[in-house]
Amino acid sequence: MKEFLNRFFKIEERGSSIKTEILGGLTTFMTMAYIIVVNPAILKFAEFPVEPATMATIITSIFGCLAMALYANLPLAVAPYMGENAFIAFGLAAMGITWQQRLGAVFISGLLFLALSLLKIRPWLASAISYSMKQSFAGGIGLFLTFIGLYETGIVTSGAKGMFADALLVPGKNILNAPPVPVKIGDFHDPKVLLAILGFILICVLMQRKIKGAILIGMIVTASIGIACGFAQAPSSIFAMPFQGEYTLDRIAFKMDVLGVLKLSFLPILMTLFLMSFLDTLGTLVGVGSAGNMLDEKGNFPEIEKPMIVDAASCTFSSIIGSSTSGAFIESAAGIKEGARTGLAALVIALMFTLSMFFIPLIEPMQKQTYAFAPALMAVGLLMVGSIAKIDLEDLCEAVPAFITIVIIIFSYNIANGLTAGLIVYPLFKVLAGRHKELHPGSIVLAALCLIYYLFGLPH
């Protein structure tokens, strides 16, 4: 067996060992296992049934990790993306789109990812987006996740909360006006709000001390305190057979509405999912490649098409099984820093996700405890917001589109609005500044596609 693993995964050839790969896989799993709790909790806002959504999250992760292990032979974990799940749940909320149509959009965008990956067009489009713009996407989504976490925990709340309804009415009309203050500080006398703050601080302290699985541990401790205080019920059981009873996938698998999204108004949604996915994948590959000295002399990830194909296939599979867009996780860097260099680490992660299927009742209560999982969103936002420091603020041709991207994402409460606005402004500002020769042809293509969002789509 040892010789087979060495030969199949090229372990010794890449300067690693079986023990190191196993340790790296376990480390990565611990840092990202929170997705089992958080992803279904977010999709719940899009009316996905929680129990099967949890199973779909796990199955999607197993599929992606196995594909990354056996096809790409890379130590990368694959699971439903943070950011994309927020777009599916919150970004499309005002459009009245069913969860079946949202899955249909993920499916179509997944097929598009796959086609463009096989044709090697995705890397070309990725190269059309400047470094500063890529960082603005990550930073904007990070702040958006933070805002969601703050709002869902009640640390901040609507400015209209506590006001009399008639105080918000437009004079002479039976419609509501905007409150004078859009958001305000929450009720700090509410023990659940204080517990959420404690949970966030705990996660941050654990991360500062470089404790493996800091986010997951923080959620478990916060949820346990909530149960002890009587805010929630303890797990009714520890073990349950997967694919049976409430954990069957019958309610969400193969339920995507593909025909319902094959119309012009859905083009901006498909494009947004496409942009977010390939940028996430590209950023993850560059990030983990840099952490493990896996990049070539030009700073490129070797054989980048393979992980991109895995990412695209996983995205398509996730929609079929009933989950949101998936792809390579940046948390893979934790295992890579432990020395993992091959797909054996991804295989270990897949096995750990497989084991977790039998213990869903143990973690399920956390999905209902906003004060436990929402601080995790804020912590992920904290990890992503550092990207803003990498934006070239001295060059206004880079800074202005990046700034517009970030503020529109946050203050319109919609990722699609920010990405499309930034990608439109970028080439426009370059032209107005007399620097049109610096433009990549792909950036003009992306701007034209984004313009469709505002001319024919459903911006909201």
CA distance 374 to 364: 15
pTM, 2 dp: 0.74
Q: Do residues 126 and 423 lie in contact, with contact meaning Cβ atoms separated by under 8 Å?
A: no
Query: Do 218 and 38 meet the contact criterion of CB atoms below 8 Å apart?
Result: no
How many angstroms separate the CA atoms of 15 and 115, rounded? 34
For residue 41, give the nearest of 159, 148, 162, 141 by alpha carbon: 148
Q: How far apart are CA 414 and CA 255, in angstroms?
A: 25
Mean pLDDT of the region 264-280:
71
Residue 431 has pLDDT above 90, yes or no: yes
pLDDT, one tens digit per residue, over 379-400 is 878 877 888 888 999 999 999 9
C-alpha of 69 from chain center: 21
Between 87-91, 295-299, 453-457, the lowest mean confidence (pLDDT) is in: 295-299
Dihedrals phi, psi of 164, to nearest 5 degrees: -70, 145
Q: What is the pLDDT of residues 343-363, one digit of tens each?
A: 999 999 999 999 998 988 877
Q: Could you tell me the pLDDT band of residue 295, with boundaries at 50, 70 and 90?
A: low
Tell me the pairing of strands 183-185 and 326-328. Answer: unpaired
- Sequence-distant (6+) residues with CB within 8 A of 245 are none
Written as one string, the DSSP assignment of 51-80 is: HHHHHHHHHHHHHHHHHIIIII-----EEE
Residue 252: φ, ψ to 5°: -130, -25
Q: How far apart are CA 365 and CA 376, in angstroms?
A: 15
pLDDT tens readout for residues 206-215: 989 988 778 8
Query: How far is residue 277's CA from residue 273's CA, in Å, rounded to a whole number?
Result: 6
Place of tokens 């206004």: 396
Pick the closest to residue 442 from 207, 158, 181, 124 (CA basis): 124
Which pair of tokens denotes residue 215? 């986010």
176 φ/ψ angles, rounded to the nearest 5 degrees: -85, 140
User: Is residue 57's pLDDT more than 70?
Assistant: yes
Q: How far apart are CA 70 and CA 74, in angstroms?
A: 9
H or E element in which residue 184 lies: strand 183-185
- Cα–Cα distance measured from residue 232 to residue 368, given in angstroms and rounded to the nearest whole number: 8
pLDDT at 385: 84
The arithmetic mean of pLDDT across residues 264-275, rounded, is 72
- Helices and strands counted in the chain (H then E): 19, 4
Q: What is the pLDDT of residue 86?
A: 76
230-268 confidence digits (pLDDT tens): 888 888 777 878 877 788 888 888 888 888 777 777 777
Q: How many CA atoms lie within 13 A of 195 on its CB side?
A: 24
Distance of alpha carbon 236 from alpha carbon 227, whole angstroms: 12
Strand partners, 185: 156
pLDDT class of 94 with cuts at 50, 70, 90: low
421: three-class secondary structure by DSSP: helix
pLDDT tens string 10-40: 888 888 889 889 988 888 888 788 888 888 8
Q: What is the three-class DSSP state of 132? A: helix
pLDDT (0 to 100) of residue 12:
87
Of the pLDDT bands very low, low, confident and very high (cuts 50, 70, 90), residue 282 is low
Percent of the chain with pLDDT over 90: 23
| CA gap 438, 175 in Å, rounded | 49
300-321: per-residue pLDDT in tens?
A: 677 778 888 898 899 899 989 9
Banded pLDDT at 299 (limits 50, 70, 90)? low
In contact, 364 and 218? CB cutoff 8 Å: no
Q: Is the pLDDT of residue 42 over 70?
A: yes
Contact 205, 182 (CB under 8 A): no
Look at the block and give the residue holding tokens 């909320």.
Answer: 93
Average model confidence (pLDDT) for the chain?
83
pLDDT at 95 (0 to 100): 66
pLDDT tier at 155 (50, 70, 90 boundaries)? very high
Q: Which two tokens stand for residue 3?
A: 């010789």
Beta bridge partners, 79, equal: 327
Residue with tokens 């701007």: 447
pLDDT-derived band at 85 (thresholds 50, 70, 90) equals: confident
Find where tokens 């059309």 sit. 128
For residue 28 the two structure tokens come to 């990565």
